[in-house]
Structure 1
């Protein structure tokens, strides 16, 4: 029996991936009939009193899926202009309620998991993208994380200063995105798995396919998955000397969950993607903004030099940069937060597990239907809201007070905002920040040891790859060429 409630679980039995890969014509036509029947029933759904405005689009069942996938930021902004800061849209048979009022985010972020659940959608994505069950990333926050951070710092120094092609006082040219992404990926895997550069090459191929896999519009790329599973095999890991303590603890965590070696290997690939898919692009954008805005670069480098001088006075001559230097860097932190505000674009999603009432900060109440999906998109609001951030251009000291302390006072509608920037999510499912912030040591190392400049200082900042809206850090549509050389000692 098929309910006309737009939150009911109606299975169409036919995805684009299914259409492209089916071998039997009768299967195709049965699926098409199933899709047609379900589209008819979904087409009868209408908005009920107390629910957000409903926009089903003009195409039965598909609704706004194509516009959503093509450029989610533009689509959601257009819908907000049409319907306000809360509305429901149909996309590929699913009904998604979008909330863009940052004052009301807390009501969603801290709602009971019995009503709004993160895990259900995460499980769907993990299965589509990695063919592995959803794994809670508690090991990113365990006691071995400091060891991993120190190893990462050492690996980055080794990669940047031991490669004769890079550690030279002759000017070299390279794509900044390639430099950032490859260094970060190799840095976390150096001495853990063999051939870190090969792993990066294959991983980057896979990363380009994952967005399509997440949307169930691509089943290709199996050879890339298979090659990476071989490279990241737990059997190969067990044969390595000097293995990461953190990685060993993660492997034991998988064993305790009852996963066999095949699934453990797939989980290793998931872990690589979850830690590196955001780190490399974030390093790219931060370096690009510093290179593009000389005042920002001068301020960050001035802060670094002041820290060096202070440490030398306290403990004598110090060679290079150490992990302890990064403990107090308010200017760098502000520049980093500004970069994240402009380039971090994750969806924060919850599955509605039961019919419920959502009360917004201004007192409005809306009914949500069981089976729908609730989505926040902080990239649009608050991060790109001109009322909150009046100067749209890059402002490296935006998150600094006049006395040099961190600025946390931002307002919308005359009211203070608790969530004024949400690059890593918030609430129950916020990512572990210490893990991600440790990656930005790469920027300190590059600025400390290398002279860097844009090959074309007048070139425009590249546009975003719009397919990546909703999946974390954005990536550029094209790379930016830089020149760099090892600084004279």
Structure 2
């Protein structure tokens, strides 16, 4: 009896202690919430509506990450075209009306992008901020180097990439060892197909060749890092992200100057950057390598998913596929179509510019897959005049964001905005540039590469890459999607970072398309 009584008292005491412990934790957590609620930011006069959520620091980050377009559209319906949201510790003022974009894009001094971009990139890739004052003139020199990715400077890059695209496609997918007997249908995962071709081709075009390069391993490590990249941009310390720090360091070592010096035939753009970094003695070898790794990410991080969506939408629409293929053949010529299986052919930048349906198809794919944010950081407290009827007070260090996807999917601007229409941006045989909302012309109707002075400096090279990829693939391959396969869906977890990859796997069939072959079967 005494033993049972002792056990009962002991158990009761343990239960009471547990209850007290849980109560203490609850009260502590509740106290923190009350403190945050009391001390957190409150809306002042003249400021946009403020949406903070109930979770300190995170705010509405989870809702934004789940489906940014749906989340922001709902807030727009509730609060109007301009509102401020707490997302992962940053107060972001969203401008949802495209007619209000010009006041932000043209407002330079008090709304800055470069400081934010420099800080975010240096933190994610691991090099010291360019604008820290330690490297005088570097920022301007880097910006000048981007002229090597546009205009006539694109011609040697176009020539180089054309050859490498054909070589990679032949060796990796169309050789007898890879594809079995000539002309047989092969099956592959479409995104993996695009990654394999675009990663190797882009790397060799920019950085050159070496017998010791292990690009397959580089791509695997790159994909592991890229999967965590959204968390790095959300300012999660890399030390908290498992093996990401180890993978990052491995990627950096790949680009050490001593190693890059052994690579043959890097393009002029990369050579210029190598020479530029060598001028700064305070820039360590690891810092130089981090810059080069950052450039690789910039070159393929969005281009690879863009290549997927371009090819996916074309294969999904037989009318588009045949129209674009016919245009390519018409510009390139039947002779080159026959030669492409025997030797490398050349498609010039000028020829690519003639392909209006190809460009429209790519632009349409980008419209449907781009979930970027055009960001500016407020440099001081001030009043931003949006138009004659609208002005808002902004606070220093807040972010002002344009959200182009809301424009890209606006049914007033685009008829059936969720549908892929390959000729949407063609009118009378030329590029269509006139789009309207409520009877008023929309200036910024398509913005996959940003806006104003902050547009992606590599956008011309990227568009060239995509055009070449589609040209070579359509000339060399016949492709189909299996019946009853789920449609490709966007991976919204990367919202705000550019072109979304697919969240689900897409299988497709392909075979060599030589002139005169497979004419009876056609495309199913």
What is the match of residue 192 of structure 1? 209
- Are 2:112 and 1:121 aligned? no
Contact 1:178/1:479 (8 A) holds in 2? no
What is the match of residue 210 of structure 1? 229
Superposition deviation, residue 129 in structure 1 = 1.7
What is the match of residue 91 of structure 1? 87
What is the match of residue 254 of structure 2? 231
- Are 2:359 and 1:333 aligned? yes
Contact 2:163/2:345 (8 A) holds in 1? no
For 2:334 and 2:32, locate their aligned partners in 1 and report how far apart those are by CA, in whole Å.
Answer: 68
- Are 2:126 and 1:131 aligned? yes
What is the match of residue 68 of structure 2? 72
The alignment partner of 2:426 has SS state of coil
Deviates more, 1:471-480 or 1:458-467: 458-467
Alignment of 1:56-71 (within 5 A): 56-71=52-67
Contact 2:165/2:469 (8 A) holds in 1? yes
Higher Cα radius of gyration: 2
What is the match of residue 505 of structure 2? 479
1:265–1:431 distance in 2 versus 1, CA, 3 Å: same
What is the match of residue 157 of structure 1? 166
Output one character per residue of 1:217-274: Cα deviation in whole Å (capped at 9) or x when no partner.
Answer: 4533122212222223221111223333332111112223552211111111100000
For 2:64 and 2:100, locate their aligned partners in 1 and report how far apart those are by CA, in whole Å.
Answer: 23
Alignment of 1:403-442 (within 5 A): 403-432=428-457, 433-440=459-466, 441-442=468-469
What is the match of residue 266 of structure 2? 243
Output one character per residue of 1:178-197: Cα deviation in whole Å (capped at 9) or x when no partner.
Answer: 11122111002234351222
For 2:225 and 2:89, locate their aligned partners in 1 and report how far apart those are by CA, in whole Å.
Answer: 27
- Are 2:195 and 1:177 aligned? no
Output one character per residue of 1:123-152: Cα deviation in whole Å (capped at 9) or x when no partner.
Answer: 332133211245555233227554333322
Deviates more, 1:195-204 or 1:103-112: 195-204
Contact 2:166/2:344 (8 A) holds in 1? no
TM-score, normalised relative to structure 1 = 0.85
Contact 2:187/2:507 (8 A) holds in 1? yes
Contact 2:364/2:420 (8 A) holds in 1? yes
Alignment of 1:39-54 (within 5 A): 39=36, 42-43=39-40, 45-54=41-50
1:199–1:48 distance in 2 versus 1, CA, 3 Å: same
- Are 2:309 and 1:295 aligned? no
For 1:192 and 1:104, locate their aligned partners in 2 and report how far apart those are by CA, in whole Å.
Answer: 47
What is the match of residue 12 of structure 1? none
The alignment partner of 2:498 has SS state of coil
- Gap runs ≥5 in structure 2: 1-28, 131-138, 337-341, 516-524
The alignment partner of 1:189 has SS state of helix
Q: Among residues 281, 284, 293, which one is paired with 1:269 in the alignment?
A: 293
Q: Among residues 280, 305, 318, which one is paired with 1:281 in the alignment?
A: 305
1:42–1:386 distance in 2 versus 1, CA, 3 Å: farther
Q: Among residues 92, 97, 100, which one is paired with 1:101 in the alignment?
A: 97
Contact 1:147/1:245 (8 A) holds in 2? no
Q: Among residues 437, 441, 450, which one is paired with 2:477 in the alignment?
A: 450
Contact 2:53/2:60 (8 A) holds in 1? yes
Superposition deviation, residue 99 in structure 1 = 0.6
Contact 1:453/1:483 (8 A) holds in 2? yes
TM-score, normalised relative to structure 2 = 0.80
What is the match of residue 25 of structure 1? none
For 2:220 and 2:288, locate their aligned partners in 1 and report how far apart those are by CA, in whole Å.
Answer: 22
Contact 2:82/2:94 (8 A) holds in 1? yes
The CA RMSD over aligned residues, in Å, is 2.6
| Count of residues paired in the alignment | 449
Alignment of 1:31-42 (within 5 A): 39=36, 42=39
1:448–1:362 distance in 2 versus 1, CA, 3 Å: farther
For 2:68 and 2:148, locate their aligned partners in 1 and report how far apart those are by CA, in whole Å.
Answer: 35
1:42–1:424 distance in 2 versus 1, CA, 3 Å: farther
For 2:401 and 2:36, locate their aligned partners in 1 and report how far apart those are by CA, in whole Å.
Answer: 23
- Gap runs ≥5 in structure 1: 1-31, 313-317
For 1:134 and 1:296, locate their aligned partners in 2 and report how far apart those are by CA, in whole Å.
Answer: 45
1:117–1:42 distance in 2 versus 1, CA, 3 Å: farther
Output one character per residue of 1:375-413: Cα deviation in whole Å (capped at 9) or x when no partner.
Answer: 111011x10111111223111111111x21111110112
For 1:126 and 1:110, locate their aligned partners in 2 and report how far apart those are by CA, in whole Å.
Answer: 24
For 1:192 and 1:363, locate their aligned partners in 2 and report how far apart those are by CA, in whole Å.
Answer: 58
For 2:353 and 2:435, locate their aligned partners in 1 and report how far apart those are by CA, in whole Å.
Answer: 25
For 2:509 and 2:376, locate their aligned partners in 1 and report how far apart those are by CA, in whole Å.
Answer: 44
